[in-house]
Amino acid sequence: MSLDPHEAAALLAAARGDRRTLQRFSDTLDGVDEAWGHAVQDADRVARTAAGERVVGAKLGLTSAAKQQTMGVHQPIVGFLTDAMAGDVLDLASLGQPRVEPEIAFRLGAVLDRAITPDEVADVVDGVAVALEVIDSRWTGYRFRLGDVLADNTSAAGFVVGEWAPLRDVRGAEARWFVDGELVATTSPAAILGDPVLALVHLSEHLAARGESLPAGALVLAGAMTDAVPVAGHSSFRVEVGGLGAASLSVT
């Protein structure tokens, strides 16, 4: 049995609105592959913009080998961000199984419409910042295959970005991850593909292959520096990166 991507997007949107989780599509449907997952994501983006949301950027997920192995998806994935996802206060009543993860964000200073090399990143990026992402998978227990997670817009649910700074090499910086004021992990931006700028390279290749682009001013979340923490039972999250700044999120 197969399912039209627009119908799949509508089912996911309904589940999101009801804060329900679903059995993954790949368990029961044929053809739930990468191309189909992106087709569902495209349909979801069209529906959200038609409802008044504005696309403000892109996000990458599964940018560490360890997380790819844990989730059973062996490549970075790309989703989209809208203005409705932005905010430093998280309303638990609006989400089903939210988690928070610390990230690095980039701001485009030029149109990203071609595949770039690491040496060309400085040509298209005019800022870097610390960020937090809220993820909220529609799949029960966060268990999915590649087509499922792409259809679900890579679990994107929210984000907050700290102060922007000029583009700089942040690979060796120390990142400190706090939950309810307690230090729970020390990591580094290098946890993102070995160098977070490689997330931008991957995104540029993805966009070029699809004939798409992102405008100047768009935000890019490069991926998580460490495992996501379930929100339940917690009231605040904060990540600090030496020499770059911090980002914080409170829970209501």
Q: Give the Cα separation of 94 and 136 in Å (integer).
A: 10
| Angle, alpha carbons 168-170-171 (nearest 5°) | 135
pLDDT tens-digit series, residues 154-201: 999 999 999 999 998 898 999 999 999 999 999 999 999 999 999 999
Q: Give the Cα separation of 20 and 40 in Å (integer).
A: 18
Query: Based on the structure, what is the number of domains in the chain?
Result: 1
Task: Tell me, rounded to whole angstroms, the distance of Cα 123 from its chain centroid.
Answer: 23
Please state the pTM of the whole predicted model: 0.95
Q: What is the CATH number of the domain that holds 236?
A: 3.90.850.10
Q: What is the rounded average pLDDT of the residues 210-228? A: 96
What pLDDT score does 2 carry?
84
**DSSP secondary structure string for all residues of 171-240:** TT--EEEEETTEEEEEE-GGGTTTSTHHHHHHHHHHHHHHT--B-TT-EEEEEESS--EE-TT--EEEEE
Averaged pLDDT of the chain: 95
Q: Give the Cα separation of 8 and 60 in Å (integer).
A: 22
pLDDT grade for 211, boundaries at 50, 70 and 90: very high
Tell me the residue range of the domain where 158 lies: 5-251
Residue 25 has pLDDT above 70, yes or no: yes
Q: What is the rounded average pLDDT of the residues 131-139? A: 97
Residue 71 has pLDDT above 70, yes or no: no
Q: What is the rounded average pLDDT of the residues 218-245? A: 95
